[in-house]
Amino acid sequence: MNKKQRFSDLTLLSGSENKYPNSPDDAQLEAFDNIYQDRDYVITFDCPEYTSLCPVTNQPDFGHIIIRYVPDKKCIESKSLKLFLFSFRNHNTFHEESANSILDALVKACAPRKAEVIGKFRPRGGIAINVKATYGGKIDE
């Protein structure tokens, strides 16, 4: 498979203009072929500036999202992930829901062997919330 065919599905990376989606439902996670399907390896995305809105008060919530996964046939393209995570900025969701919906979107986009999304959310009202959602079992390192 030549380079043009391999990356033909990556529409966001090739675009020079960023169109920021208004919600995760409007965002698109893109994936590319994993040329190292014959081995397990861990990909980690570290997103320390995650924001969303409280579904009750509509006030901003701030967090740190860490995504780790063992790819199978596809890998997540990082610019599409950035735009996807950015789409939560105007989206009302609880912390537990955001970590799980990020995991669901990742699994849908690339069907990894294993995946986890860790959300470390800043305190509000004196309590910090940390959430870990997993798919396919524990990721060893």
Active-site residues, by number, are 54, 61
In angstroms, the CA 94 to CA 79 distance is: 24
Q: Please list, in sequence order, all residues whose beta carbon lies within 8 angstroms of the beta carbon of residue 122, skipping any fewer than 6 positions away.
A: 61, 62, 63, 128
> Which helix (DSSP H) or strand (DSSP E) does residue 62 occupy?
strand 60-70
